[in-house]
Amino acid sequence: MGIEPLSRRELFTGRAAAKPARIRPPGVSEASLAACTGCGACGERCPTGIIRLADGLPFVDFSRGECTFCGACEEACPQPVFEAKDVRRFPHVAAITDTCLARRNVACQSCGESCSEQAIRFRPRIGGPFLPEINEAKCTGCGACLSGCPVSAIAVKAMEAEVAHV
């Protein structure tokens, strides 16, 4: 088991930065990853090339493209890693950050143009470009808008669970 090198900042502050949680392929849970052998078959079969391996486990890299929910990764996997069958959404949604060009008065609608679910609409405003708004109910978390954004102004956030009324 190797030791991960520290960045300069981590060295000078004396603490390691928190590693962001990696996004799992659709239908894969944290528990089911224990069955993964790290063979890489899921990544080899992914038609958009977004599934990669890190530390022997698969994760989704939306900077490379989007998930089409085709199921090729599940079909290629020889182990019981994919629990949920016929998954059509991730457990996260897109979120537009403050670095969005439209929020900085530059006309851009790249995210909306790349969203096949039409989960991103643009609200008109006086004196500036239309502002993007995400309909979380329609967003599948596929990553099309992330890879389509010219300034990487879109992030993912966990879906909020609905509160039950008692």
Q: Is the pLDDT score of 1 beyond 60? A: no
Contact between 114 and 105 (Cβ < 8 Å)? no
Distance CA 129, CA 133 (A): 13
Classify the C-alpha dihedral 127-129-130-134 as positive or negative. negative
pLDDT tens digit sequence for 71-102: 999 999 999 999 877 789 999 999 999 999 99
pLDDT-based confidence at 138, cuts 50/70/90? very high
Q: Is the pLDDT score of 3 beyond 50? A: no
pTM above 0.85, yes or no: no
pLDDT tens digit sequence for 19-55: 567 899 999 998 999 999 999 999 999 999 999 999 9
Mean pLDDT of the chain: 87
Coil, helix or strand at residue 51: strand
Distance CA 119, CA 100 (A): 17
Per mean pLDDT, which range of 28-32, 128-132, 138-142, 159-163 is the poorest? 159-163
Distance CA 143, CA 100 (A): 16
In the predicted model, what is the mean pLDDT of residues 112-140?
95
pLDDT-based confidence at 6, cuts 50/70/90? low
Backbone region of residue 132 per phi and psi (left: phi > 0; alpha: psi in -120 to 50; beta: other values)? beta
pLDDT-based confidence at 16, cuts 50/70/90? low
pLDDT (0 to 100) of residue 159: 78
Q: Is the pLDDT score of 66 beyond 70? A: yes
Look at residues 27, 74, 36 and name the one whose alpha carbon lies nearest to residue 55.
36
pLDDT (0 to 100) of residue 7: 61
Q: Is the pLDDT score of 107 beyond 70? A: yes
